[in-house]
Amino acid sequence: MKALTIKELTDAVGEGITPRMVRHYHQVGLMPQPQRSSGNYRLYTQADVQRLKRIVALKQQGFQLAHIQKLLEADVTHETPEVLLTQLHRQYQTVMQQISQLRHTASALERLLGRDRQCQATQAEAIAHLKQLEVETQTHWDGLELLWREMDTKVHQHPEAFQESLHWLLPDLSDRSEIEVDLLSQLVLACGDVSVVPFIRLSRDAIATSRTILKAGCSIVTDVPAVMQALDQSRLRHLGCHTTTLIDDPHISSAAEAEQAFWQQQSWHDRLQTCEPGCLFVIGYAPSVLLAVCQAIQQQKIHPALVIGMPIGFSHAPIAKRQLMQSTVPFITIEGAVGGGLLAATALNALAKSLIAKPDCHCYLSI
């Protein structure tokens, strides 16, 4: 088979890969050094194309280059799964330490940027102090802590201006509709974490569908009573919506209990099959409920109009959310393990509130 030049290699792989990136992968050992032509040009094979595609795929899944190298080396050296898992666990701990450090940095910036106009004078004072900080002496560290305490005493002078803070802290959302920005803002306020925004996923037709079915007084099905209790029942009644709970055990107080309950009671699996066509699911606790919903949709046993799927969990929940995003039903979800009943309920409450406040708004149709 004809050998490929580096340009032909990148064209075959696509995904924005450039010759410069390939050369970097050679330098760090991710790609083996290729053979050379008589003119000293790099020559590649189909095996190189497949390896580079695997690197790109793993990188798109969030793996760092060091992690990718370990995974690819495992195929070559035939390391046992236990050894590979141990290596990945060490790398995971390293990543978590890096995230922790970045979280501390973000928190420090939030202490400054999240303050409203009434605190601008103390903001300027803090920034000036930070610029002059000499980290070599404990005295200056103590001085900085004293400055934070002085700034913190100012909060008693007025209530927090949430929208003003969000204006400074949210990423650029100029490409989103007004209703979607409001939804994202409410989710951030519900969990106190601006970093969740890039992980929130809405299908293209989620907002339009939600407004249509809520206006029509759709049936709303929650996974557990705790999610039901967090819903804005007054607004939902105003819209003519009626709410039911799939796992109607009032003693369930955690995601773990909800998960076990759904597995142990076949009656709740059977009840899922009886949900009205055009209903709206709000799932915030049990990953297996969302998995069962996705499976029933695929098998055309149920026909919901919208699924808000935000269960928390570290193995089943991310899988369930991926299956939801691959389904044909409009959805709102959060990638990964993040989620919970409060976030799921907040998403629906924000949609209901915006519908009542702005029933004729069509901003979401022009984005």
- DSSP symbols for 293-331: HHHHHHTTS---SEEEE----SSHHHHHHHHHHHSSS-E
Burial 302-327 (b: 16+ CB within 10 A, else e): bebbbbbbbbbbeebbbebbebbeeb
Is the CB of residue 273 less than 8 Å from the CB of residue 297?
A: no
In a domain, 85, yes or no: no
Residues 67 and 148 in one domain: no
Whether residue 210 sits in one domain with residue 165: no
Q: Return the H-helix or E-strand segment holding 35.
A: strand 35-36
Q: Residue 42 forms beta bridges with which residues?
A: 36
Do residue 135 and residue 152 come from a single domain?
A: yes
Same domain, 341 and 202: yes
Mean pLDDT for the chain?
Answer: 86
Domain match, 285 and 345 both? yes
Domain check: are 158 and 206 in the same one?
no
Query: For 238, phi and psi rounded to 5 degrees?
Result: -60, -35
Q: Which residue range forms the structural domain that includes residue 48?
A: 6-77
Q: What is the pLDDT of residue 125?
A: 64
Specify the pLDDT at position 91.
Answer: 78
pLDDT per residue over 42-87, tens digit each? 999 999 999 999 899 888 877 888 878 877 876 555 566 777 778 7
Rg (C-alpha) for the chain, rounded Å, is 26
Whether 212 and 294 share a structural domain? yes
| CATH number assigned to the domain comprising residue 351 | 3.40.50.10230
Residue 202 in domain: yes
Instruction: Centre a 10 Å sphere on the Cβ of residue 72 and count the other Cβ atoms it contains.
Output: 17
Rounded alpha-carbon distances, angstroms, from residue 59 to 3, 130, 189, 197, 323: 26, 37, 31, 21, 21
Lowest mean pLDDT among 124-138, 210-224, 268-282: 124-138
CA 289 distance to own-chain centroid: 19
- Residue 109 included in any domain: no
Share above pLDDT 90 across residues of the chain, in percent, rounded to a whole number: 55
State whether 205 and 330 are in the same domain. yes
The total number of structural domains that make up the chain: 3
What size, in residues, is the chain?
367
Q: Which residue bears the tokens 């400055």? A: 147
Residue 356 lies in a domain: yes
Final residue in a domain of this structure, among 16, 50, 77: 77
Give the pLDDT score at 205. Answer: 94
Same domain, 230 and 301: yes
In a domain? residue 93 = no
Same domain, 21 and 135: no
Q: Kindly report the pTM of this predicted structure.
A: 0.77
- Are residue 39 and residue 159 in the same domain, yes or no? no
More confident residue, 142 or 210: 210
164 lies in the same domain as 179: no
Dihedral sign computed on CA atoms, order 47, 50, 53, 58: negative
What's the rounded mean pLDDT across residues 236-254?
94
Whether residue 107 lies inside any domain: the answer is no
Mean pLDDT value across residues 289-297: 96
Residue 87 lies in a domain: no
Is 105 inside any structural domain? Answer: no
Backbone angles phi, psi at 345, to 5 degrees: -65, -40
State which of 100, 135, 169 marks the end of a domain: 169
Which pLDDT does position 138 carry in this prediction? Answer: 47
Q: What is the pLDDT of residues 17-39, one digit of tens each?
A: 999 999 999 998 899 998 888 88
